[in-house]
Structures are given as C-alpha cells and as structure tokens.
Amino acid sequence: MIKIIFENDKEVFLEPSELNKSLLQISLDADIPHIHACGGNARCSTCRVLIQEGDEHLLPRNEKETALAQKKGFPDNVRLACQTKTTGDIVLRRLVIDEADKALASTFSDLISGIEKPVAILFSDIRGFTGFSESHLPYDVIHILNRYFYRMGDKVLKYGGIIDKYIGDGLMAIFGLEDPDPVRANLNAIRSALEMRSELESLNTYLQNHLGSEFEIGIGINYGTAILGKLGHPLSMSFTAIGDTVNSASRIETTTKKAGAKILVSQKVYESVKERIQKGRSFETKLKGKTGNYRVHEVLGTKNNCEGSTWQETGYRIWDKIDPTEVGAWLRMVFHASSIFSADGEWLGLEGSIRFPSILNDENNRGVAKQIEEIIHLREEMEKEGRVGIPSLSDMIALSGALALQKAGGPQVHILTGRKDANYPSGRMLMPVDSPDVKDSLDYFSMMGFSTRDTVLLMGVHTLGWHSKGSFTETPNIFNNHYFRDLLLDGGVRMLATDRALLGSEETKRMVMEYALNESLFFKDFQGLYQRLVEQKRLEES
C-alpha cells in the first residue's frame, strides 16, 4: 500500500494500481475539499500543494505544469496537484484552502510562493535624520533623500544586490539571490557598504555647501537563511525578505551608533570573508529583542585583490565608468563594435572589434569614441596592475553594454567571457542608413542573420539616447517600451526616418504594437537578442 498524507486533512492509502491518478484526483476521491478553479486543466494554480516529504517519488513536471510553474515562479517543492503523480509515499499540504485564498492566488503573476534561501542582508540608516528633516523645507528633505538613495542604491546594484525597500531614511538590500556562493554574497555586501561610505563623503560636501549639514550613516550586515517572496495587497505587492536573519541585520545596524562604528558585520559574515577584509574591533553585544550575546566585527576595508575574479572585477570597474546620462551611447558602442564585416561582406561581429581603435575617427563613431576609449584605458590599467586573465576587448565591450542596459533599468543579461580579439586586417564597419523604407533596415540586419522581429527589437534600443536633433523619447536615460508607444501615438515625430519606417509595413507595425502593449515581452525578447548580438549563443554551446 502507498500512503499519502494530506497534512491537516487526512491520510489516504492506495493500491499500486491506483497510482495512475493525479494528486488532485486522489484528494477529491478522499472527499478532501481541494480547490481546482479551472477543473484540473493546469490553467490556474489553485490546486497547488507543498511537498514536505517524498518528493523523490514524484514524476517530473509535464509540459503544462512546467509552463505554469515558470510563469508563477514556483520552487521545486510546490507542485500542481492536477498534473502531478506519485510512485510512493509522500506528505503534502494544500496551499489554497478557501475562497479568500482562491481569490488571492488568481492575482499573483510570479514569485508567489515563499522560499527559503541563504542571503546577505544589509541595513543602513542615517543617524539624526529627524533633526535634519525638522530644520529644513519639505522640498529640500525629499530632494536630498532622493539624491542620497540614488547614490547609495547605485552601489548596491553595482555589486549584484537588490534594493529590498526604503524605510524612511533607511535602506535594506539583499545580496546573493543569483550567486549561491556565501563568500561572494558577503564580500559584495561589504564592498557595497564601503563604497556607500565613500559616496557619503562626496554627498556631505554637497550638503555642507548648500544646506550647512552633514549626514552620518551606520551599516549592519548579516548572513543566513531568509524567507523570500512577494508580500502585500494584490494591487501593491513587492518582493522582500523576512525572518530572523533580516531582523538581526537591522539590530546590528542599530548597534553601530552605540559602538561608534561605521560598518558592523555578524560572526557568520566575518567567518566567510575574514581572509579578504581589514578588520577593526570585535566585541560581544546584546541585540534588541534577542536573548544572549552576539559577536560582531567592525570592517575597515578590503585587502588588495579581494575579489579573486578578474572578470567580476572588470564588471565592477566598468559599472563606475557608465554615466547614467550616457547609457544610450554605451549600447550604441556595442552595436558599432558588432558591425564589423569582412571585405566580401561576411559579418565578423564583435570579435572583429579589435579594429575599433583604428577607426575611432570615423564619422559614425564620433558619438561613441569616449566609451571605447574608456574600455581601452581600463584594459591598459589592468595590464599595468599585472592582473591575470584580463578579458579581451570584445568581452569588455559585450559586458559594458549589458551593464549599461541594467543601469538604465533594463533586463539583466548575464555575459560569458571567452571571446577572442581576432585580427581582421581587411575588416570594415558597415552602418545602416537612415531610410524611410523599412526594407533597407531589414536587408541590413539580415546580413547579420537577424530576422524581421530582431530588426524591430534592435530599433527599440532607441528608447535610450539621442540623435543629431534631440532624444528619441522623453525618457532617454531609461530603458522602457516608450519608443514603441511613441511611434504609435504620434508617428515618431521625435525620431528618424528609419524609425518611422517601422509603421510602413503591416508586419513590423504589428510587432511595434506588441511591444508597446507589453513591456515585459520587450525586455524578455531584447535580452535574448542582445546575447545573440554579442555571440553569447556560440559561447554557451562551446
């Protein structure tokens, strides 16, 4: 007999011959009121269950369940009962119990199920901010806070963190969501904290000159398991982390004021990175709301070459060079560097960009010369430092575009290293012409192997940056779908003839409409296209 325990409901025993049934059918046959709004056809998630024991006995997800699980962000232990079958004993629990649960489940789109994951949590807080807010005009308070959060948030994003929330004058960030390595997560949180301190010094110069004030901040970092998921009203939900790890990080930050320290980390954080940081004092203290004493450590800095990965360090340095008002130029540089063709018209792509330094004076490159020079100088700096494994020029160009995209609020594109700077003495850069005929654009991009949809997507990058007569959209520093919206709303009056030409074909106009109505689709498709533009697929296959 096979035993299936529906926690908080009942135990069900099955003969082996009954194992062709889904978990939903088994539940319903046992008179368990298992909600299944779509009738068990994998068109909703109301029958989902949490597998607590025996997941090794479950059959793999079928196509229907896989599609819905990806859309909803299910972890491995959350399964659709209507599609799941078992071959042995399991313990599970229904997650949608009543009509209120059913209504709530229908509003979710992704990351709906709480998961536990080890992460580094950073808290920062401005000391004495109440006095500042009481002695300055409301406009000045909001202006300064936004300036402060922008500068601090940039350092969080630089090191792969996400800004969880702003709490008055405080900030909470999470590190390690993408990279499971605890050393990397904790080191990134610490490097972010140290650079937040450096940014504060620059901000204080501005504050002193304009408002006669200065800020002081304390930063606390903890590492451990947190519960991650979306919380809030269905119309205003946000991704967050909760749990003891989060609470302790907040308490450690509070301790910085009493200890007269700028950055304090927990014992767990210290143990993982102690060989890579410069430590100050260590002491035991009580944390508010916690029993017993907790050991914390003061961080003064990091040791030379603490990162250990030249590729990661390259990304951090490029991030600092990207001015948010010039993200369009950085992405345009990637396209120019990718537009290298052989003498007989074969697309050489990004690996032919080793010729770029010799064609910087080309009229077409006037708007991106600054960016490519920054990359060339960075390579020279790293060579002088004697670093091992310095990325190729084409690798650095590919990475810089991805970072610019991220800095502008676009999708995150993971870039692999391994491109070779092949030497093509006969290579030349061919650029598309500004033509009112969409066929000219399609013909040009077809030489790179790109389809009609790819062409529309590549034109969509004009949502960033400027041309000779002004910006393409009203948000030239933000990556969004406004390029497509504006094309439909006013015919692209701010744009070039080649942009407006997209409306001259029913096929391309339909695609423009798709992306105007669905920014998420634009982000997803552009992410894949960028990887193909910089030859990511070839690297993944190799």
- What is the torsion angle, in degrees rounded to the nearest 10, for the CA atoms of residue 55, residue 61, residue 67 and residue 72? -10
Beta strands 90-94 and 2-6 are parallel
Does 110 have pLDDT greater than 60? no
Beta strands 2-6 and 10-14 are antiparallel
Task: Identify the pLDDT of residue 425.
Answer: 54
CA distance linking residue 247 with residue 239, whole number of Å: 17
Question: What percentage of residues in the chain have a pLDDT greater than 70?
Answer: 93
DSSP 265-284: EEHHHHHHHTTTEEEEEEEE
pLDDT in tens, 179-227: 889 999 999 999 999 999 999 999 999 999 988 888 999 999 999 999 8
pLDDT in tens, 222-267: 999 998 887 777 667 778 899 999 999 999 999 999 999 999 999 9
CA distance linking residue 367 with residue 370, whole number of Å: 7
Does 403 have pLDDT greater than 70? yes
Residue 189 near residue 175, CB atoms below 8 Å = yes
CA distance linking residue 3 with residue 87, whole number of Å: 10
Q: Which residues contact 45 (CB under 8 A, 6 or more apart)?
A: 68, 72, 74, 80, 96, 105, 108, 112
Q: Which residues contact 152 (CB under 8 A, 6 or more apart)?
A: 124, 171, 196, 199, 200
Section 161-184 average pLDDT: 91
Does 308 have pLDDT greater than 80? no
Residue type, 114: G
The backbone torsions φ and ψ at residue 336, rounded to the nearest 5 degrees and listed phi first, read -60, -45
* Predicted confidence band of residue 155 (pLDDT cuts 50, 70, 90): very high
Task: Identify the pLDDT of residue 358.
Answer: 66
Residue 48 near residue 55, CB atoms below 8 Å = no
CA distance linking residue 80 with residue 69, whole number of Å: 8
Does 111 have pLDDT greater than 70? no
pTM confidence score: 0.80
Tokens of 125: 């807080």
Task: Identify the pLDDT of residue 518.
Answer: 95
Does 391 have pLDDT greater than 50? yes
Section 146-173 average pLDDT: 93
Q: What is the mean pLDDT of the chain?
A: 89
CA distance linking residue 404 with residue 417, whole number of Å: 17
Task: Identify the pLDDT of residue 112.
Answer: 47
Does 109 have pLDDT greater than 90? no
Among 53-67, 101-115, 284-298, 471-485, the range scoring the smallest mean pLDDT is: 101-115
Task: Identify the pLDDT of residue 167.
Answer: 87
CA distance linking residue 77 with residue 142, whole number of Å: 44
Q: Which residues contact 176 (CB under 8 A, 6 or more apart)?
A: 117, 118, 119, 120, 182, 184, 185, 186, 188, 223
How crowded is residue 427: how many other Cβ atoms within 10 Å of its Cβ? 21
CA distance linking residue 83 with residue 80, whole number of Å: 6
Which residue is listed with tokens 């004058």?
A: 169
The backbone torsions φ and ψ at residue 161, rounded to the nearest 5 degrees and listed phi first, read -85, 170
CA angle 409, 410, 416 (to 5 degrees): 125
CA distance linking residue 160 with residue 192, whole number of Å: 9
pLDDT in tens, 332-359: 999 988 888 887 888 878 876 666 666 6
Does 97 have pLDDT greater than 70? yes
Does 65 have pLDDT greater than 90? yes
